[in-house]
Amino acid sequence: MKLSRGVVAIGIAKKVYTEARKPENQARIKSAVEKARSRKR
């Protein structure tokens, strides 16, 4: 059970990493971070 959870976590992390490398997604991530920072202030 524990091993399968680790495999799933690695798969999700790989998917997130590959999506985050795409330029259009980088722009979305940056805008979301800026929005979160402005709310925090």
Q: Which two tokens stand for residue 17?
A: 């990493």
Total domains in the chain come to 1
**pLDDT reading at 1 higher than 80:** no
Tokens read off for 27: 């722009």
Domain around 6: 2-40
Q: What is the pLDDT of residue 2?
A: 84
Following DSSP, what letter does each residue of 8-29 receive, concatenated? HHHHHHHHHHHHHTSHHHHHHH
Helix (H) or strand (E) holding 38: helix 23-40
- The mean pLDDT value for 1-25 works out to 92
Distance (Å, whole) CA 19 – CA 25 = 7
